[in-house]
């Protein structure tokens, strides 16, 4: 005799802030690699060791494409 029980997935918090992070982000003049729009929101995080530069995350104001530098 066998039976299957479907387990419920654990909810995980988004450590980078998720959609809420972008509501308070500053914007800058940078070209989107997807749509060539000239403006994007950005924020910076230190995701590597302290002697490495910070990583900048961008989100296009037109198409909402996300990318990062460094």
Q: Which residues pair with 67 in a beta bridge?
A: 58
pLDDT at 67: 92
Is 64 known to sit in a ligand binding site?
Answer: no
Q: Which residues are catalytic?
A: 51-52
Q: Is the dihedral of CA 48, 60, 19, 9 positive or negative?
A: negative
Burial letters 12-21, b for 16+ CB under 10 A, else e: eeeeeeeeee
Q: Please check whether the domain covering 20-69 is classified as CATH 3.50.50.60.
A: no
What are the residue boundaries of the structural domains of the chain, listed by start?
20-69
Does residue 17 carry a pLDDT above 70?
no
Q: How many C-beta neighbours within 10 Å does residue 40 have?
A: 24
Higher pLDDT, 59 or 20: 59
Q: How confident is the model at residue 30 (pLDDT cuts 50, 70, 90)?
A: very high
* CA gap 58, 60 in Å, rounded: 7
Is 2 known to sit in a ligand binding site?
Answer: no
> Which whole number is the average pLDDT over 35-56?
89
Q: How many C-beta neighbours within 10 Å does residue 68 have?
A: 12
């Amino acid at each position: 005799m066998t039976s299957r029980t479907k387990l419920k997935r654990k909810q995980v918090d988004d450590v980078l802030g998720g959609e809420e992070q972008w509501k308070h982000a500053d914007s800058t003049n940078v070209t989107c690699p997807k749509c060539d729009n000239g403006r994007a929101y950005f924020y910076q995080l230190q995701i590597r060791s302290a002697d490495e530069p910070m990583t900048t995350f961008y989100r296009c104001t037109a198409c909402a494409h996300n990318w990062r530098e460094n």
